[in-house]
Amino acid sequence: MQAESTKDGSRLGVSYRRKDALDKVHGRTQYTDDFRVPGMLHTAVVPSSRAHAKIVNIDKTEAAGMVGVHGVFTGEDLPYLIGLYLGDKPALARDRVRFFGEPVVAVVAESEKVALQAAARVKIDYEDLPAVTSPREGLRKDAPVLHPDMAEYVHIPAIHPEPGSNVANRTKIRKGDAAKAFDEADVVVEGEFQFPPGDHVCMEPRIAVAEVKADGQVIIRSSTQSPYGVRGIMSRAMGIPPGKLTIIAPAVGGGFGGKAGVQLEPLAYLLSKAVGGRPVRVANSREHDLMSSPGAPGLQSRVRLGARKDGTLIAADIEFLFDSGGYADYAVNVSRAAGYSCTGPYRIDNVTADSICVYTNHPFATAYRGFGHIEMTYSIERAMEMLAERLGMDPVELRLKNAIKAGDTTPTQNVLDSNTGDLSECIRRVTKAIDWDSGTTQTAGDVVRAKGISCYWKAPAIPTFTDASAMVSFNEDGSVNLMTGAVEIGQGIFTGLSQVVAERLGIDPEQVHCVSEVMTDRAAHDWTTAASRTLFMVGRAALGAVDDAVAQIKEVAAAPLRVPVEDLTVAGGRVFVADEPDIGLDLSDVVLGYVYENGNAIGGPIIGRGRYIARHLSHLDPETGEGHPGLEWTIGAEGVEVEVNRRTGAYRILKSACAMDVGRVINPALARGQVVGAMAMGIGYTTREAFEFDNRERILNGKLRDFKILRYGEHPEYVVDFVETPQRDGPFGARGLGEQGIVGMPAVLSAAFSRAVGKQLNEMPITPEYLWRSSREVKGGAT
């Protein structure tokens, strides 16, 4: 069923069916691996069987001699260092391996079968090196330094690596006088929290197919959220002129940050170049996607909060240690994001924080839905629960008392403006949804039902110059084509964008056709489909393009209508005089040029151009963190009810509620889908989606039979509620909402489970065994 527009005719706030729905449910959407290029060769990668080791020898003789093998390559053959922010990573390991599963050798062959057979015949000799097992271990003075050449790595100015150590980036926040405020505090609580690295587990594993044409043109088709990012990074690192490098991004089967940045593209390109330019396919198996490509960072953190007796927060001292794994990738910016948002959505005037990205011998980490804010929120909200317990104060009241609002300052000393969302209203709605006031625990024998609440905020962690572009053109019937650099990653972006465009033009969204495959040589530059910024920024660019086209339409129509341009308006597929609507033309008579009765023509095809660049963002001061990193803050609250059997540790999550201030809801069904999906992902993140390592830091659960994600039948009841305080610089007042639903989930589940067992649970994943053990500790080992 197609939704209708609202009573006032608006296309906003209406659940139009997704433009990609029918093809997706019929299995007809074409993803990267559905394009098989003639002459394409296949790759098999040999992963490291060690977490940290020197590569002593690689014997590729037998593999290279096999029929159908075009080449067997090692890191020595592909001498480039690539990185998103910090150029620390070779396409294949050189000299040493830094994590279990790191690609060491690549075999290129006629078929995947031959490539895999040859890969099994490559012999690699390693000499084990002592492994860095956690970020805290990595900071020890005697820790092995994983990147001895860090001083020579190229990096962007916004991050601050510390050569000679394992610190890939450090973000410092110094606001007010925390030491003095702690002295004045009536109550101080401190806690340490931790969880291991995890993974996105996208339905579509990563893949890139690269080809070097005879004239030097490089074409890469890739499962990427960041076609322009890939172009920029590869052209800089490898000296390919950007105009000679085209990245094609078809529909992506889930990204969650894991396909932002640069992934398999450099390896595919280097291999293609090495075999004379033939198309080379590099495709992750599920296991390689879990272990060899980057996942979510782990964390060790420490939070100290100081408050007055009445619960007013006055001081915070915070340390976030991010487990970046063997390479920095996006993790250096993830740690930065946790730094600039470090207090959560609470007013705290005196703050010291160090957010550090540390190399370890774990799988390397990249962007993951929530991007630093999920780790930050988990830590801060755990400490808030400790504070409420210490004060004997209702956790909801404590949060309402400190809820951030317009006029307060962020950790980076920005004053929040009137666009700031209404956190108190979000808290009120969530507490109502889980019926907080009827009691937070309920016990029947061994079974306890308990509730929890958490607040969260998130601002996109983006370059100061983050941009977007859009172009509109028209068809014979007056319908619109929208071309942008936005990638469909499952979020339904083209449906939202078509509603924005349709609203501005006063037409049906069905009349807006979106170019759904991004090719970097066609659409103008767009930063990346990440950070929940696409509807906001590309929406703004699209509105600009519409306005530009409308001006052109009026200019063309003014002549045959013999009216001043400024008297014309465009709506409902027509251009007409605002106060005499009968004087007008159908858009179909104008958008490709107007033709007079005698055959004379004017105008020509209308092309609207729109662009956007982030406003007033600035770098953070390296010593104090002062600066403006956050374009818009999406603020919200989450609440859950869980049921725990304290005797066995078995649990159920009964209800999960989220209230979020999104500015303006463009498509309610899509918005709800994003938030429900994010909450579900957060349940998995909290309860099971974590890597386990043996005593040599090798991954034990690198397969989906062991690495569990949530299934149908394991979901709670979801309640989603939106508050609409307009973001006045967003399209029709909208702000980002794609990731935010996950941000409070580890915190809110930890709060509820802690309440159920009667003990603060400061580690994840939270499993029945952990609940059982904690319950026994509370009971003093009874039963």
Q: Which of residues 339-378 bind another protein (CB under 8 A)?
A: none
Tokens of 407: 């006029």
Cα–Cα dist 77/129, whole Å: 24
Site string for another protein, 112-151 (x = CB under 8 A): xx--xx--x-------------------------------
Could you give the angle at the alpha carbon of 666 between the alpha carbons of 663 and 670, nearest 5°?
A: 115
Site string for another protein, 724-763 (x = CB under 8 A): ----------------------------------------
612 makes contact with another protein (CB under 8 A): no
Least distance (Å) between residue 765 CB and another protein: 8
Which residue in 155, 688, 698, 735 binds another protein (CB under 8 A)? Answer: 688
| DSSP 8-state code for residue 120 | T
28 makes contact with another protein (CB under 8 A): no
49 makes contact with another protein (CB under 8 A): no
Sign of the alpha-carbon torsion through 258, 260, 263, 268: positive
Is 180 or 703 the residue whose CB approaches another protein more closely?
Answer: 703
Which residue in 547, 567, 714, 724 binds another protein (CB under 8 A)? Answer: 714
Is 438 or 783 the residue whose CB approaches another protein more closely?
Answer: 783
Least distance (Å) between residue 706 CB and another protein: 7
Point out which span in 186-194, 258-266, 617-625, 684-692 binds another protein (CB under 8 A). 684-692
Site string for another protein, 646-665 (x = CB under 8 A): -xxxx---------------
Site string for another protein, 246-285 (x = CB under 8 A): ---------------------------------------x
Cα–Cα dist 705/714, whole Å: 17
End-to-end CA distance of the chain: 57
Is 670 or 771 the residue whose CB approaches another protein more closely?
Answer: 771
692 makes contact with another protein (CB under 8 A): yes
Cα–Cα dist 49/252, whole Å: 30
Burial per residue of 757-775, b for 16 or more beta-carbon CB atoms within 10 angstroms, e otherwise:
beebbbbbbbeeebbbebb
Cα–Cα dist 746/377, whole Å: 8
In this structure, the strands spanning 467-474 and 447-458 are unpaired
Amino acid occupying residue 221: R
Torsion of CA 88, 92, 95, 101, to 10 degrees: 100
Least distance (Å) between residue 659 CB and another protein: 28
In this structure, the strands spanning 218-222 and 207-212 are antiparallel
Site string for another protein, 86-115 (x = CB under 8 A): --------------------------xx--
769 makes contact with another protein (CB under 8 A): yes
Which residue in 149, 706, 717, 777 binds another protein (CB under 8 A)? Answer: 706
394 makes contact with another protein (CB under 8 A): no
Least distance (Å) between residue 264 CB and another protein: 18
| DSSP 8-state code for residue 630 | -
- Which helix (DSSP H) or strand (DSSP E) does residue 58 occupy? strand 53-59
Amino acid occupying residue 767: T
Is 235 or 701 the residue whose CB approaches another protein more closely?
Answer: 701
**Backbone phi, psi, residue 337, to 5°:** -65, -40
Burial per residue of 8-17, b for 16 or more beta-carbon CB atoms within 10 angstroms, e otherwise:
eeebbbbbbb
Cα–Cα dist 161/704, whole Å: 35
715 makes contact with another protein (CB under 8 A): no
Cα–Cα dist 427/576, whole Å: 47
713 makes contact with another protein (CB under 8 A): yes
- Number of residues binding to another protein, judged by CB under 8 A: 30
159 Cβ contact list (under 8 Å, min separation 6): 85, 86, 168, 169, 332, 333, 336
772 makes contact with another protein (CB under 8 A): yes
711 makes contact with another protein (CB under 8 A): yes
Which residue in 687, 727, 750, 754 binds another protein (CB under 8 A)? Answer: 687
Radius of gyration over every alpha carbon of the chain, rounded to an integer in angstroms: 27
In this structure, the strands spanning 207-212 and 187-195 are unpaired
Least distance (Å) between residue 701 CB and another protein: 6
Least distance (Å) between residue 7 CB and another protein: 45
705 makes contact with another protein (CB under 8 A): yes
Cα–Cα dist 400/528, whole Å: 35
Which residue in 172, 525, 708, 759 binds another protein (CB under 8 A)? Answer: 708
Q: Name the residues that contact another protein, by CB under 8 A.
A: 112-113, 116-117, 120, 285, 287, 647-650, 687-688, 692, 700-701, 703, 705-706, 708, 710-711, 713-714, 765, 767-769, 772-773
